[in-house]
């Protein structure tokens, strides 16, 4: 088979003052900068994004040339009609499909017959829906009969809705749609690179491809992490005996499990800021860190062979093909900004929206105690939501050091304040629903984490900062947060269909997996709190009284509002349902070519290149 994926090595930008470079288990490198690094991150992000937006193709000819330049082959048949559809709906991002092409790249190594056979086979598994286009009509079948699945067909129905405007232009083909939010396809490293270890002919059936009859969930014969680490190179730490490194035991229901010792927030300034989200975290080299992410503990069994599964998101190492989430495309009171429940329609301004000046200057989060499965059990306290909630719920006198700007100076001064005081002043985060299991049960869970009553989605819009964290998989509320004119603080290890289209530090603020920099993010944009101000020995700093509203530093608040405005504009112009349809249309054209026996017949070509230009050399489609 011999297909290759992007390198498993993390590639962060070169180290600069205050920018986080280390993998997320290492302490932040603290460098006292001459000037704060956040403005530089924002300005670089704005420049990078605007440059990308401006270089998008302006004509079909330009788009064809750009396609050939990037992917070394002709666009798929129907590319001209797709272009017309995109232009009709004023789509901005017409060239940025590198993620889509990377998802599909392994399937170019298979014949059309083999792709069709594998799609049919995997469509019979539990928690997979088979969406079929035949004679320009769509049907959905599922193999859930042998397994009780509460999420049956929801994502497939959402995908069907995305096809409605152009299905009559599509040939017959099938899409195996993941019924779960979690990624499903994990192919061992050796099977990605050495044909002699890979079954390239699936005529023996899916059981022969998977090494036995497929079980819908993990029992006593493995787990996601053990399957995932086999995607790493043989000489990587994840493939060697890693469990003895920096671990200790947790005991759950009488059994001992290994976990990481570095799960508590570290001391220090935490004056480092992640330039992007954590989707590039390298667990091959940092295997002890896997206990911090719940997707490695999913109960649902992964598929250890190359099969086409269309999923709403994936983490590094998974081979699912990304599609837009049905939560983003549909309209519900739980996931959609501007949904009028009474009138059953979308409105431009949500009824609970407030002016920027009236938004509460706190960091807000509400959600359930999800975050991963429970296989093996005992690791739930390390999962992403639980870690954040424990940090935000801490009422202790433990000191947290933040840096605040020195008046009339470009320097910064470290200030140590009890974390309980900081959380009281800037955090409003709580669980609202109990799900899953927790070591020590409900009593232990509620003792370590703040709980509150549920709130409507619109309550979020009354806050300036909205934390957006992964649950069982990606967060289905992210696009609603962007639309709200508040600023999402996004912590995720997932990539989604729009990952090529959006820019961290321009449309949202990314968080590292530790979340520890969140206090200094707040201090930069909103200024020192009452507790911090009292702890600073500045003779010329005015300390706010406990009952007066603080006036944040003008520049910091300007920057924060700029991010909020850019995020809202992105949702209105690039994160629309129309943009999701254009993405799916393009995906369908690419999939139709892979589905065909004669793939060259499914290429699109202009009569000749534009004057003065030459097409890149043609690469034969396999």
Count of Cβ atoms closer than 10 Å to residue 129 Cβ: 26
**Could you tell me if residue 586 is inside a domain?**
yes
Domain ranges, residue 95:
44-230+282-324+579-596
Q: How far is CA 109 from the centre of its chain?
A: 27
pLDDT of residue 199: 75
Residue 49 belongs to some domain of the structure: yes
Instruction: Decide if 433 is inside a domain.
Output: no
User: In this predicted structure, what is the pLDDT of residue 33?
Assistant: 47
88: which residues sit within 8 A by CB, 6+ positions away?
none
Q: Residue 612 falls within a domain, yes or no? A: no
Give the containing element (helix H, strand E) for 443. Answer: helix 441-448
User: If the chain, 622 residues long, is cut into consecutive pieces of 10 residues, what is the mean pLDDT of each piece?
Assistant: 32 33 34 71 96 98 98 97 98 98 96 97 94 96 62 89 97 97 94 74 91 88 94 93 43 38 41 86 90 92 96 96 97 94 92 96 96 89 94 94 78 88 97 88 92 96 97 94 97 96 97 92 93 75 51 78 98 98 98 97 79 52 40
The angle formed by the CA atoms of residues 454, 432 and 428, to the nearest 5 degrees, is 85
Verify cis geometry, omega within 30 degrees of 0, for the bond prior to 51. Answer: no
Asked if residue 435 belongs to a domain, the reply is no
pLDDT of residue 135: 96
pLDDT score of 6: 31
pLDDT of residue 364: 98
Is residue 140, in this structure, part of any structural domain at all?
Answer: yes
Residue keyed to tokens 């050399």: 617
- Which two tokens mark 178? 């993941």
**Angle subtended by helix axes 577-595 and 154-163, to nearest 10:** 90
Given this model, what pLDDT does residue 349 score?
A: 93
pLDDT of residue 555: 84
426 belongs to a structural domain: no
Based on the structure, what is the number of domains in the chain? 1
As a whole number of angstroms, the distance between CA 170 and CA 157 comes to 18
| 363 beta partners | 427, 465
Question: Considering the domain boundaries, does residue 386 fall inside one?
Answer: no
Element (H, E) at 467: strand 463-469
């Amino acid at each position: 088979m011999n297909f290759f994926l992007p390198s498993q090595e993390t590639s962060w930008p070169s180290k600069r003052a205050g920018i986080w470079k280390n993998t997320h288990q290492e302490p932040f490198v603290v460098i006292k900068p001459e000037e704060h690094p956040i403005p530089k991150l924002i300005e670089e992000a704005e420049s990078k994004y605007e440059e990308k937006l401006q270089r998008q193709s302006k004509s079909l000819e330009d788009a064809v040339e750009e396609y050939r330049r990037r992917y070394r082959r002709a666009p798929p048949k129907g590319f001209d009609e797709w272009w017309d559809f995109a232009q009709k709906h004023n789509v901005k991002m017409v060239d940025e499909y590198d993620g889509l092409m990377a998802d599909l790249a392994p399937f170019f190594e298979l014949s059309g017959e083999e792709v069709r056979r594998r799609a049919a086979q995997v469509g019979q598994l539990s928690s997979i829906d088979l969406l079929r286009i035949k004679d320009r009509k769509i049907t959905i079948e599922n193999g859930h009969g042998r397994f009780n699945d509460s999420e049956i067909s929801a994502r497939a129905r959402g995908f069907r809705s995305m096809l409605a405007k152009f299905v009559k232009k599509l040939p017959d083909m099938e899409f195996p749609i993941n019924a779960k939010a979690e990624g499903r396809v994990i192919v061992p490293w050796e099977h990605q690179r050495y044909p002699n270890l890979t079954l390239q002919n699936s005529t023996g059936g899916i059981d022969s491809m998977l090494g036995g009859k497929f079980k819908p969930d993990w029992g006593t014969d493995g787990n996601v992490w053990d399957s995932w680490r086999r995607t790493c190179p043989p000489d990587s730490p994840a493939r060697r005996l890693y469990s003895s490194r920096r671990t200790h035991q947790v005991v759950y229901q009488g059994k001992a499990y290994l976990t990481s010792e570095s799960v508590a927030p570290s001391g220090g300034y935490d004056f480092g800021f992640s330039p992007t989200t954590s989707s590039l975290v390298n667990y091959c080299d940092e295997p002890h860190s896997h206990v911090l992410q719940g997707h490695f503990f999913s109960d649902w069994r992964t598929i250890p062979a190359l099969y086409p599964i269309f999923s709403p998101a994936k983490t590094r190492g998974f081979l699912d093909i990304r599609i837009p989430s049905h939560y983003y495309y549909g309209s519900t009171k739980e996931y959609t900004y501007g949904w009028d429940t009474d009138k059953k329609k979308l409105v431009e301004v949500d009824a609970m929206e407030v002016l920027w000046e009236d938004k509460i200057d706190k960091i807000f989060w509400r959600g359930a105690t999800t975050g991963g499965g429970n296989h093996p059990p005992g690791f739930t306290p390390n999962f992403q939501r639980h870690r954040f909630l424990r940090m935000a719920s801490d009422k202790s006198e433990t000191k947290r050091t933040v840096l605040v700007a020195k008046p009339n100076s470009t320097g910064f001064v470290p200030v140590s304040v009890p974390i309980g005081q900081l959380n009281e002043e800037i955090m409003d985060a709580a669980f609202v629903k109990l799900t899953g299991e927790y070591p020590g049960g409900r009593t232990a869970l509620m003792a370590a984490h703040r709980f509150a009553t549920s709130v409507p989605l619109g309550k979020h819009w009354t806050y300036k900062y909205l934390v957006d964290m992964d649950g069982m998989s990606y967060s289905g509320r992210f696009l609603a947060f962007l639309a709200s004119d508040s600023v999402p603080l996004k912590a995720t290890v997932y990539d989604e269909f729009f990952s090529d289209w959006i820019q961290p530090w321009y449309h949202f603020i990314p968080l590292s997996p530790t979340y520890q920099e969140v206090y200094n993010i707040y201090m930069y944009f909103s200024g020192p709190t009452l507790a911090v101000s009292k702890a600073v020995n500045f003779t010329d700093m005015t300390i706010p009284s406990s009952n007066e509203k603080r006036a944040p530093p003008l520049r910091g608040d300007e920057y924060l509002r700029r991010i909020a405005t850019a995020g809202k504009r992105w949702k209105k112009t690039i994160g629309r349902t129309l943009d999701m349809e254009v993405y799916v249309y393009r995906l369908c054209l690419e999939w139709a070519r892979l589905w065909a026996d004669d793939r060259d017949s499914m290429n699109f070509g202009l009569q000749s290149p534009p004057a003065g230009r030459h097409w890149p050399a043609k690469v034969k489609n396999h």
